[in-house]
Amino acid sequence: MTVASNEIKTDQTTESLPKSETEKQFNWKECWYPVTFIQDLPTNRPYGFTLYDEPLVLFRNKEGKLICLKDLCPHRAAKLSDGQIIDGKIECLYHGWQFGNDGQCVHIPQLAKNVKIPVNACIQAHPVAEIQGMVWIWAGTAEMADEKDIPTVPNLNNPTVVSSDYMLDLPYDQGIFIENILDPAHIFISHNGSLQWRADAQPLEMEILKVSLSGIESRYRRTEIPHPEQHWVNMNFIAPNLVTYTRINSEVILGSGLYSLPTGKGRCRIMLRNYTNISTWKFKLKPRWFEHWYRNKFVEEDLSLVVGQAEQINRLQKSLKKLYLPLRTSDLVLIEYRKWLDKYGGLLPFYQGYETSYNIDTQNIDYGTRLTRHTQICGSCNQAYENTKKIKKILIAVAILLAAIALVLDHSWVQYCLVAASLLSVALVFIAEQVKIKFERAYTRH
């Protein structure tokens, strides 16, 4: 194959937009951010998280409504997420100060009952919404919050559609993640055998359909498939935290919604939703934690590569325009995303555009483990992990007990049965250990 030029040529770039549009900046505070799946929220304790390094905490009040407050007790700066929920109020575990729905302080044990609680004992609150099985918080002015602006996936409202939901904390920033998932060409190589095969790697026909302050609309298709089987795939970036894949087919509904939360500099949380209306019984029968083993492996196939990329970018301190050698047949959309950040991302706390950047991370990257990145924040996997540890302990105790009983018996068929049962218990202990490891250790390439 001959490539005439390495320069990206988009069908519609940000440069072609009206001047009034390109002069606007994306206001990162006046929008909704996904936090977690509702099913992964703990039911009996506060839930701490961060947005652009700002600590926040979620809890349910007495009526079951989710409340989001700044995760900072105004008394002595302790984290409220380390506290407890009492009668629908969140209590700081340090001195027992309690806070209600709007962040107002409603109880201070160290004050006499006839003394008024200081006004500045209140905490900033954020609007919360529960939509399509996810928890959302509004980062800006509460009066501006409108749940209609939440970037939902319309196909998930279809009763014939089922989805598989997965969440993971990553040791690199949101921009790196979005760039990675706007790159369908890498799937054939990086995910060889998991989703595609490297023998199918090929030039892609990619088109930019629309670029605006709200995001990027694009599509792509393979070029080396007979024409009747050529299907376009819609690939859209909805600012600031959603990328959608939708296969264009009149009968089959198949797609993905890939959300991200910028938890901090050099860190982000991703929430993936794969959905379909075909073979839905597979989604319903397969345990969620078992499905997540595959999802973990799939994401971890990219992990060292993307972390290495982030380290190189941080080390070299050059613009991506000088570092990258992009191709139109693979990198068209991801380069347009970086240009989108150049045009609209100036107000973001940190960003890496194509030619510009602000406050990007220069720290050493902590990979973490599968346990810390996923298992501990996933309700299904954490429960399965804890159950596996309990079962392993029980099996060890059973194996020891059976062996001890067998030792004190005379030679008989009962003794042989007990020894066999003890050995079986040992074998099950080994299996339980392998299952436990699946929740702890990341996949590594060999």
pLDDT digits (tens, 9 = 90+) for 65-123: 999 999 999 999 999 999 999 999 999 999 999 999 999 999 999 999 899 999 999 99
Q: What is the pLDDT of residue 252?
A: 85
pLDDT for residue 13 is more than 50:
no
The whole domain housing 90 covers 32-138
Once rounded to an integer, what is the mean pLDDT over residues 406-410?
84
Q: What is the pLDDT of residue 226?
A: 61
In angstroms, the CA 101 to CA 123 distance is 10
Once rounded to an integer, what is the mean pLDDT over residues 201-213?
96
Q: What is the pLDDT of residue 411?
A: 74
Q: What is the pLDDT of residue 14?
A: 43
Q: What is the pLDDT of residue 262?
A: 97
Q: What is the pLDDT of residue 413?
A: 83
Domain check: are 126 and 240 in the same one? no
**Domain assignment of residue 305, yes or no:** yes
Domain check: are 113 and 19 in the same one? no
The tens digit of pLDDT for each residue in 33-61 reads 999 999 999 989 999 999 999 999 999 99
Domain check: are 195 and 310 in the same one? yes
The H or E element spanning position 32 is strand 32-37
pLDDT for residue 2 is more than 70:
no
The tens digit of pLDDT for each residue in 270-284 reads 999 999 998 888 888
**Domain assignment of residue 297, yes or no:** yes
Domain check: are 326 and 210 in the same one? yes
Q: What is the pLDDT of residue 280?
A: 82
Q: What is the pLDDT of residue 146?
A: 96
Domain check: are 228 and 348 in the same one? yes
Domain check: are 285 and 328 in the same one? yes
**Domain assignment of residue 393, yes or no:** yes
Q: What is the pLDDT of residue 21?
A: 53
pLDDT for residue 380 is more than 90:
yes
The tens digit of pLDDT for each residue in 334-379 reads 999 999 999 999 999 999 999 999 998 767 778 889 999 999 999 9
pLDDT for residue 306 is more than 90:
yes
**Domain assignment of residue 315, yes or no:** yes
**Residues facing 166 on adjacent strands:** 272
**Domain assignment of residue 405, yes or no:** yes
Instruction: Say which residues have a Cβ less than 8 Å from residue 226's Cβ, sequence separation at least 6.
Output: none
Mean pLDDT of the chain: 91
pLDDT for residue 12 is more than 80:
no
In angstroms, the CA 122 to CA 139 distance is 18
Task: Give the model's confidence band at 136: pLDDT under 50 very low, under 70 low, under 90 confident, else very high.
Answer: very high
Q: What is the pLDDT of residue 19?
A: 44
Q: What is the pLDDT of residue 82?
A: 97
Domain check: are 244 and 337 in the same one? yes
In angstroms, the CA 256 to CA 277 distance is 12
Domain check: are 164 and 216 in the same one? yes
Q: What is the pLDDT of residue 87?
A: 95
Task: Give the model's confidence band at 247: pLDDT under 50 very low, under 70 low, under 90 confident, else very high.
Answer: confident
Find how far residue 209's CA is from the centre of its chain: 27
Distance from the first to the final alpha carbon of the chain: 30
Alpha helix stretches (DSSP H) within 171-287: 174-181, 187-190, 280-285
Last residue of a domain, one of 317, 342, 367: 367
The angle at the Cα of 143, spanning 82 to 137, to the nearest 5 degrees, equals 35
**Domain assignment of residue 386, yes or no:** yes
pTM, two decimal places:
0.90
Last residue of a domain, one of 303, 335, 367: 367
The tens digit of pLDDT for each residue in 147-206 reads 999 999 999 999 999 999 999 999 999 999 999 999 999 999 999 988 888 999 999 999
Q: How far is CA 207 from CA 22, 238, 329, 438, in A?
A: 20, 16, 10, 40
Q: Could you give the number of structural domains in the chain? A: 3
Q: What is the pLDDT of residue 352?
A: 96
Instruction: Say which residues have a Cβ less than 8 Å from residue 241's Cβ, sequence separation at least 6.
Output: 33, 34, 151, 174, 259, 260, 261, 262
Which residue carries 């339980």 as its tokens?
432
Which amino acid, 354?
Y
Domain check: are 298 and 241 in the same one? yes
**Residues facing 50 on adjacent strands:** 55
In angstroms, the CA 180 to CA 307 distance is 11
Once rounded to an integer, what is the mean pLDDT over residues 284-290?
92
Q: What is the pLDDT of residue 389?
A: 98
Alpha helix stretches (DSSP H) within 324-443: 332-344, 370-373, 379-408, 413-440
Domain check: are 277 and 359 in the same one? yes
**Domain assignment of residue 91, yes or no:** yes
Q: What is the pLDDT of residue 250?
A: 67
Domain check: are 288 and 307 in the same one? yes
**Domain assignment of residue 145, yes or no:** no
Is residue 42 reached through a cis peptide bond, with omega within 30 degrees of 0 on the bond before it? no
Domain check: are 128 and 178 in the same one? no
In angstroms, the CA 320 to CA 317 distance is 9
Mutual angle of helices 288-316 and 174-181, in 10-degree steps: 110
Q: What is the pLDDT of residue 240?
A: 95
Last residue of a domain, one of 338, 367, 396: 367
In angstroms, the CA 140 to CA 127 distance is 9
Once rounded to an integer, what is the mean pLDDT over residues 389-406?
95
CATH classification at residue 170: 3.90.380.10
CATH classification at residue 93: 2.102.10.10
Paired sense of beta strands 233-238 and 215-222, if any: antiparallel
If we measure between CA atoms, which residue out of 260, 231, 261, 259 comes closest to residue 246?
231
Q: What is the pLDDT of residue 424?
A: 97
Contact 89, 61 (CB under 8 A): yes
Token pair for 403:
């062996």
pLDDT for residue 15 is more than 70:
no
